[in-house]
Chains A and B, each alone.
Chain A
């Protein structure tokens, strides 16, 4: 862990060397999801609501997923940009060091400009919490935090899986965007508005439903099941992460360098 924070502070300093560019990118990262959020607001205004959901409830969903996505993009960026390491043969350098590969790849890159996006998600979360009359108990606050953390874990798992394929394909796979960007777009809205196959896929295969929709029901006081089960739902993300890491191990063993 110490090593990880060391990596982080070094990269933060290096990105801060270009301060204007950094700030502009942050601002841009703020406005991209902001436009999407504005679109959501206008749709709710035009249609007066969504079956079973009010604007603020959907905004809570939106905020949680956006926050998880921006955190994952910031901290798991190394896996997202992993094909660069492979293409240039730089992965060899990581292999000869006496530390685990996962932590080194995680530390190879951070995208601090995602702070803009995080700020935007925090604003959305604020709007949502303000507009909803929820009796906040410690259990609900913990659930909300677990939802965000679970979301980060799911997104990171997808990044790791996509990065693993680079061991065989060398080039990055654009298809993974369906699950990261597409998953984000989809999970912004409560999951039950989609067709059954989408809901099932994104609950049992890639557990976005487990980190956003099901605990959300608990927070809003609409869950059927026992409270503790709903609270613990985001932990399902760990079940997703485990096979991703296992596949990563296999990938590392299969690695053949491209460098000279």
Chain B
């Protein structure tokens, strides 16, 4: 288990090198957050009665999304891994004395953790002191904040497992663009990145509930605001674990099959 750990550390340090990019990212995130909140404020002033979410909960949802953007967004893919597969350098990876799935998984986790840890704290510093109605509310209760951290982290494990499946699909398609775009668009939508899941129409919420995506974004964010209670949150962690086990098992199996038939050309 040592190799994945040290890889994690390496990737983490590498991510920390790109500080200017992170600064630009922070500004962009703040701006997007403000714009989104203004849109929701306009909707809520028009008709804020009896909505499934209070404005304050939506504000928290928006800011959490901006703070942990790098952690949970499906869009972020590592060009290096794609290059390994399509370029044939996968041969080197296969020579190394470790199993590929855990190593790549660790790489993905590390890249996400590194860029998120750079962005999350500065954004948090700003959003907690913004004037109302833009201010980020505090977590609903100490229990909620603890559960939030737990659910966010298991959500992160889940996102990495989903994106592993995308990488593995490249073994078959050889061109990352198509599969990546489709999964990213659908996944982000059903995760609640565009509209919070409780604000979707009922039939769509049911559909989103059947997919793994909402457990990565929507679920931890609503645990934070107390929109999902403690009891339900504990049950939800169980569901996250089931999805994680299923997706990781599927990924391992598919990767095994892909590696059996991989042919590297050239010398």
Contact = CB atoms under 8 A, between A and B. Distances in A.
Contact of B47 (A25, A47, A178): A47
B178 interface: yes
B189 interface: yes
By secondary structure, the B interface counts as: helix
Contact of B42 (A51, A173, A181): A51
B25 interface: yes
A178 B204 CA distance: 31
A173 B43 CA distance: 33
B180 to A, nearest CB: 8
Count chain B CB atoms within 10 A of each CB in A49, A174, A181 and give the residue with the most: A174
B31 interface: yes
B241 interface: no
B195 A178 contact: no
Contact of A24 (B43, B44, B181, B189): B181
B24 A175 contact: yes
A226 interface: no
A36 B39 CA distance: 13
Contacts of A171: 20
B43 A182 contact: no
B178 A178 contact: no
Contacts of A227: none
B175 interface: yes
A189 B186 CA distance: 23
A93 to B, nearest CB: 27
Contacts of A46: 43, 51, 199-201
Count chain A CB atoms within 10 A of each CB in B34, B185, B186 and give the residue with the most: B185
A195 interface: yes
A127 interface: no
A27 B186 CA distance: 13
Contacts of A25: 177-178, 181
Interface string B163-205: 0000000000001011001100110110000110001110010
B2 interface: no
A28 B25 CA distance: 24
A244 B46 CA distance: 39
B24 A174 contact: yes
B28 A178 contact: yes
Contacts, number: 100
B125 interface: no
By secondary structure, the A interface counts as: helix
A35 interface: yes
A24 B177 contact: yes
B24 A20 contact: no
B235 interface: no
A89 B244 CA distance: 47
B199 A43 contact: yes
Interface string B139-179: 00000000000000000000000000000000000010110
Contacts of B42: 50-51, 189, 193-194
A257 interface: no
Interface string B7-46: 0000000000000110011011001101100110011111
A9 interface: no
Interface residues of B, number: 34
A182 B33 CA distance: 10
A38 interface: yes
B65 to A, nearest CB: 13
Interface string A149-184: 000000000000000000000010111011001100
Nearest to B198: A46
Contacts of A20: 175
Interface in A177-201: 177-178, 181-182, 185-186, 189, 193-195, 198
A21 interface: yes
A204 interface: no
A73 B178 CA distance: 20
Nearest to B134: A195
Given A173-B24, A174-B24, A36 B194 contact: yes
- Return the 4 tightest CB-CB contacts between A and B, nearest first: A28-B181, A174-B24, A193-B42, A24-B178
Given A32-B181, A193-B38, 11 more contacts: A25-B181, A31-B182, A35-B189, A46-B199, A47-B43, A178-B28, A182-B31, A182-B35, A185-B32, A186-B35, A195-B38
25 contacts: A24-B175, A24-B177, A25-B181, A31-B181, A35-B186, A35-B188, A35-B189, A35-B194, A39-B195, A42-B195, A42-B199, A42-B204, A45-B201, A46-B51, A46-B199, A47-B44, A50-B46, A51-B46, A178-B31, A182-B35, A185-B32, A185-B35, A186-B35, A189-B42, A193-B39
Interface of B: 20-21, 24-25, 27-28, 31-32, 34-35, 38-39, 42-47, 51, 175, 177-178, 181-182, 185-186, 188-189, 194-195, 199-201, 204
